[in-house]
Amino acid sequence: MRIVSLLPAATEIVCALGLRESLVGRSHECDFPEDVAKLPALTRSRLDSSLGSEQIDTEVRRVLAARLPIYELDDDRLAALAPDVVVTQEACEVCAISFEQVVASTSRTAPSAAVIPLRPAYLGDIFEDIKTVADACGVRAKGQALTAELKAKLDNASRSGKAAWPRVTVIEWLAPPMLAGHWVPEAIVAARGTPVGPEPGEVSPYSTWESVKAFELDAVIVAPCGFDLERTVAEATPLANKLLGLAPKVLLLDGNAYLNRPGPRIVEAVETIAAWLRGEGVPAARGVELKSAARG
């Protein structure tokens, strides 16, 4: 079995199923487990990820308006890898290479490969996607065992959450502000918070700071899509007083690794948020509570 994963969450799923040695290629964004960096990357982005949030947003709008793909796929490298299974996504053309691009490429370069699209919109879809990948790769029993384990951890996090059900908004982008939709509202419920903003399954909408302030929140989680914790801290620190004006508690979370990535570590995101809402500490690798700019 030769597997190519073109989605970071799918790479984590494949490895969690015990199929790391079958993985022969990845996307340029696949970074966990760390040793997948040794594998050839088959995609690249038209965008410069080192730009600031507002500049990235402007570039995304420009590329989409021009009807250009944000990501490109290396046909020659895909052909050379000769995969049996290619796992991709069919949920967001901004987050990863589109399903249509992958189908077009594999039809030319790897026509015998099974193309498996993941379509997560709700929290439960993540567990179904794990089963889908497991079935496609011939390890159904491992998929069932992994989903059972993750659901048990999720249930435990939900039972140990805060009784008061605080009002929580998750900010998925800072300039302009965007509120996290899809599976994130359900993740907040699983952490025993009350999500304020988009309904579960809805696409993440743009918002304004004034609108978010009007929510009268108890807590805000800042988890920009695609940013690790270091980048999130760098982007959020200049906005510290504005963010703390939205709620008395603000958590900067590594959304790229945990909350925004629909893979096994979504459970760790829920555990982290539940602990934080209870007033407990957050693992330094996952997040940091924001302090005012005046206090540093």
**150 assigned to some structural domain:** no
Beta-sheet pairing, 177-179 with 219-222 = unpaired
**CATH code for the domain of 185:** 3.40.50.1980
Tokens of 211: 């609108």
Over residues 47-66, mean pLDDT: 85
Query: Which of 123, 104, 113, 107 shows the shortest CA–CA distance to 2?
Result: 113
pLDDT digits (tens, 9 = 90+) for 87-144: 999 877 677 788 899 999 999 999 999 999 999 999 999 999 999 999 999 999 999 9
Does residue 144 fall inside a structural domain? no
Residue 294 maps to a domain: no
Same domain, 103 and 170: no
Residues 107, 184 within the same domain: no
pLDDT at 60: 84
Which pLDDT band holds residue 201 (cuts at 50, 70, 90)? very high
Are 280 and 179 within one domain? yes
121: exposed, middle or buried (Cβ count in 10 Å: 0-12, 13-18, 19+): middle
If one counts every other C-beta atom within 10 angstroms of the C-beta of residue 110, the result is: 22
Task: Give the pLDDT score at 46.
Answer: 82
| Residue 14 domain-assigned (yes or no) | yes
Q: Are residues 86 and 195 in the same domain?
A: no
Tell me if residue 59 falls in helix, strand or coil. helix
128: amino acid identity, one letter: E
- 106 and 166 housed in the same domain: no
- Note whether residue 115 is domain-resident: yes
User: Quick one: pLDDT band at residue 161, thresholds 50, 70, 90?
Assistant: low
More confident residue, 220 or 291: 220
Report the Cα–Cα distance between both ends of the chain, in Å, rounded. Answer: 52
Residue 149 within a domain? no
Domain carrying residue 69: 3-119
Assess whether 104 and 205 both reside in one domain.
no
Q: How many domains does the chain have?
A: 2
Average confidence score pLDDT of the chain = 93
